[in-house]
Structure 1
Amino acid sequence: MAPPKQPSWYTTALEAVHGTNLTGKTSLVTGGNSGIGVETVKALATSGSRVVLTSRSVEAGVKVAEQLKAEGVKGQIKVMQLDLADLASVNKFSKAYKAEECGPDLLILNAGVMACPQTYTKDGFEMQIGTNHFGHFALTKELLPSMKALGTPARIVVVSSMAHEMGAIDLQDLHYRHRAYSSWGAYGQSKLANILFAKQLAKDLEGTNIKAYSLHPGIINTPLTKHVYGGGYLGAAVKTAVGIIGYPWLKSPAQGAATSITAAVSPDLESHSGVYLHDSQIKKPARAAEDMDMAAELWKETERQLADAEKKLSS
């Protein structure tokens, strides 16, 4: 199977990883049990990487690992439980991972929730920024020392969204305690936070073995969209129609995972840490996503709130 000469909207994850040998490498994919996460795991394992697939449900993760094995994917896939909406789970996972594993060489922050009703994580964070940003931030901070200890090139890939363009960071009310809740506004804020996190991470990691990237995977009809169609008979009808008819702008999960894979393995990106990708190409994000003063302030505020939450866990 020959890859396209130039990565594009149509590129699949397997095409993006074509010719890459990841034997001896360890990859960690959050939310690897669903949507583009499955295709990300598949592409990495196909290229020889040992993949740690994290999932809220171990059963769901094991089902995917068995399915990929049945499809002929020969790479080793290990399933571990991780709930990014629960800092206790993040801490438990991190300890277990570091006790058994090195690195990882590739950390793919793929899991997320989208446009959900106003709910909160176990630690009191608004669900979308709590899962998409705070959970991944805490996980990354825990794994950075072991990634640095590898001494060989490593990458962190943050799956954001073009929805960051409609987001705005409110440092005084990240969790919608005092402003009217908007499911899409909260999602946009969380995806903007993803890009700012990746850019600040890239800046802080200059001179180390680790590079960081963020990306928009495309618009994909996956379980992530479960809150988009709404409930009841109308929501079910719309979802069924999309499944049968489709939309020309909807990517398949395999196409959606291609940009994550490009960010993880493309040698062309080695000297471009911190960039944002769209359709496997470097693109400029919204102006708000290039505000490095906000990136630094968001980093500080995230660390402060995580520290407060950790204190409550230990008390």
Structure 2
Amino acid sequence: MHILYLNCPFSGVGLALCRRLLEEDHELHLCLACRNMSKAEAVRTALLASHPTAEVSTVQVDVSSLPSVFQASKELKQRFQRFDYVYLNAGIMPNPQLNIKALFCGLFSRKAIHIFSTAEGVLTQSEKITADGLQEVFATNVFGHFILIRELESLLCYSDSPSQLIWTSSRNAVKSNFNLEDIQHSKGQEPYSSSKYAIDLLSVALNRNFNQRGLYSSVACPGTVLTNLTYGIMPPFVWMLIMPIIWLFRFFANAFTLTPYNGTEALVWLFHQKPESLDPLVKYLSATTGFGSNYVTSKKVNVSFVSLKRLLLGS
């Protein structure tokens, strides 16, 4: 069984996921698609040391760069005949800014748990333009993945044995932050949220276009995990200060998975499912109880069918 993992798992959810997948099947061939090859080789060596019967390979790709995506897809088509799973986990949240006023107002409102679970309305980002002339977040989180998928169609579309795309989405994917007229979110301040909603929408569109050819797509959310991404929002000592509040909220909301291992629950669960049995309009969520037990829950994707139709028709 061959798995392409997009985004080198140096730490966090990515590394925890790769370890859990190799524990589920000791004979997997896991291909790590990464930008930094020296770090990729270090991860490869570590994974093989703990799972010597597995196969772990690497390929260089920067999903924010179209030439890099095309080169990587060319190399993958030369090296592999098919991929059974593709984990699309590469993503950035550049220069996050926390709206302290909105956060504290939300803390004492009826939406406190929702705001802490999703960061809706309290988190903005500023980004730059890539060498290809695209908004950085859109290029990295969405467009580079999409181009790679289209380039690898010959390795993914087998009607007799389905392949599955598994996207890392977010509870922060908010419909109101997405506009098909500004799909790159160049005029807004929440490109991360917009990109994650675009992923949800794109996954539904891919299912409608490719299910009959044996390719299925699902979206998952790891929940609120303390990683380099969240430490970019607030420094570690601040997270430690508010940890008692988070532990309390955990009894009322399941989004606070906190550890990378817990965050992989939905991603690993999807590995065991028959893709054709999954609901294409559902997002699968890693969840943790107040007592620390992990489970998978789901929610309907808030899809705009008008946007979906326009996306499918290209108009």
TM class by smaller structure: 0.7 to 0.9
The answer on 1:228 being equivalent to 2:254 is no
Shift of 1:95: 0.1
- Equivalent in the alignment of 1:312: none
- Kindly tell me: are residues 246 and 60 of structure 1, through their superposed partners in 2, closer, same or farther at Cα, counting changes over 3 Å? farther
Give the stretch that moved more between structures: 27-36 or 128-137.
27-36
- Equivalent in the alignment of 1:37: 14
Whether contact under 8 Å (1:109, 1:136) holds in the other structure is yes
The answer on 1:175 being equivalent to 2:151 is no
Instruction: For structure 1, list consecutive stretches of 5 or more residues without a partner in the other structure.
Output: 1-24, 230-234, 305-315
Look up the SS of the partner of 1:102 in the other structure: coil
Separation (CA, whole Å) in 1 of partners of 2:299 and 2:279: 13
- Equivalent in the alignment of 2:72: 93
- Equivalent in the alignment of 1:284: 300
Look up the SS of the partner of 1:212 in the other structure: strand
Separation (CA, whole Å) in 1 of partners of 2:213 and 2:40: 32
Whether contact under 8 Å (1:53, 1:78) holds in the other structure is yes
- Output the aligned Cα RMSD: 2.5
- Kindly tell me: are residues 69 and 299 of structure 1, through their superposed partners in 2, closer, same or farther at Cα, counting changes over 3 Å? same
Whether contact under 8 Å (1:167, 1:191) holds in the other structure is no
Separation (CA, whole Å) in 1 of partners of 2:245 and 2:92: 22
Shift of 1:194: 0.5
Separation (CA, whole Å) in 1 of partners of 2:232 and 2:310: 31
The answer on 1:134 being equivalent to 2:113 is no
Separation (CA, whole Å) in 2 of partners of 1:244 and 1:281: 23
Instruction: For structure 2, list consecutive stretches of 5 or more residues without a partner in the other structure.
Output: 96-125, 248-255, 287-295
Percent of paired sites with the same residue = 23
- Kindly tell me: are residues 58 and 163 of structure 1, through their superposed partners in 2, closer, same or farther at Cα, counting changes over 3 Å? same
- Equivalent in the alignment of 2:216: 211
Alpha-carbon displacement from aligned partner over 1:108-136 (angstroms, at most 9, x marks no partner) = 11111125332122212211111111111
- Equivalent in the alignment of 1:270: 276
Letter in 1 for 2:209: D
- Kindly tell me: are residues 281 and 176 of structure 1, through their superposed partners in 2, closer, same or farther at Cα, counting changes over 3 Å? closer
Look up the SS of the partner of 1:78 in the other structure: strand
Shift of 1:149: 4.3
Shift of 1:186: 0.9
**TM-score, scaled relative to structure 1:** 0.76
Letter in 2 for 1:188: S
- Equivalent in the alignment of 1:118: 127
Structure with more strand by fraction: 2
**TM-score, scaled relative to structure 2:** 0.76
- Kindly tell me: are residues 226 and 207 of structure 1, through their superposed partners in 2, closer, same or farther at Cα, counting changes over 3 Å? same
Higher relative contact order (CA 8 A, sep 6+): 1
**Structure 2 matches for 1:225-264, cutoff 5 A?**
225-229=230-234, 235=235, 237-238=237-238, 241=240, 247-248=246-247, 249-264=256-271
Shift of 1:27: 0.2
Whether contact under 8 Å (1:102, 1:150) holds in the other structure is no
